[in-house]
Amino acid sequence: MSASRIRIGCSGWNYASWRERVYPNGLPPRGWLAHYASLFDTVEVNATFYRLQKPQHVAQWLEVTPPDFVFAVKASQFLTHMKRLTDLDRGVQRYYDSIAPLAASPKLGPVLWQLPERFKVDVDRLAFALDNLPPGRHCFEFRHESWFIPEVLDLLRWHGVALAIGDHPARPWQPWALTTGWGFVRFHYGLRGRRGNYSETELREIAARLRALAPGGEELFVYFNNDWEAFAVRNALRLKRLLRA
């Protein structure tokens, strides 16, 4: 498939450990996103998971990124970890109000719903949540093995929601599968590189798996979450080069 259909980036950009490793010495934090956007055409925003954003800050994200830049945003932990997909109406509205400038722009990509590791399968609760999702692209990352059953995958397909593929050595049972016309892949921790870095061999294997995942040219959103020591940036840049080779 064409590499232009695979967007590759990192899970966040605002890391102090990226000073000098990624961001030039002396560049203030307010300039980090613009510099990041010179390297990648997408980012996954993790800050939206931890707290509601201020719309004026979100508007600044739009101002400093190119027109074709895409933000994937993580759904609030209040909805996924505290409410556990119940009583969504008011919470979802508050969440979307906090990212209103992005939600109204073409730069909004998928919304990632990451469920807790100890949250076991509940088909009825998932069906309720899927029935009540706002318009747009959504993906679900399940972190308990019990979710990976035909009924769950069929529900995602029926609603046009993507299965988020989370690559982590602690979850070797994670299937690589598309449940809609696009995919979402998160790389958490390399197994063969040092301290969670993905090795060259792993990245070459990943490039092949991504091509195989979307043989019909389906759009893929790919993010590296191993941010420490700027491994995510190095791994993402190398993967981009491999896919264009």
Supply the pLDDT for residue 132.
Answer: 93
The rounded distance, in Å, linking the Cα atoms of 134 and 137 is: 9
Residue 1, pLDDT score: 42
What count of other Cβ atoms lies within 10 Å of the Cβ of residue 45? 21
- pLDDT at position 124: 96
pLDDT at 226: 96
CB 184 within 8 A of CB 110: yes
Residue 4's pLDDT is 55
Burial of 78 per CB tally in 10 Å (0-12, 13-18, 19+) = middle
pLDDT at 105: 98
Per-residue pLDDT reduced to its tens digit, 78-111: 999 999 999 888 899 999 999 999 999 999 999 9
**What's the predicted TM-score (pTM) here?**
0.95
CB atoms within 10 A of CB 140: 27
pLDDT < 70: residue spans in the chain: 1-4
- Per-residue pLDDT, 233: 98
Tally of domains in the chain: 1
CATH number at residue 98: 3.20.20.410
Cα angle 102, 94, 122 (rounded to 5 degrees) comes to: 105
pLDDT of residue 3: 53
pLDDT score, position 245: 74
> The domain containing residue 235 runs over which residues?
3-244
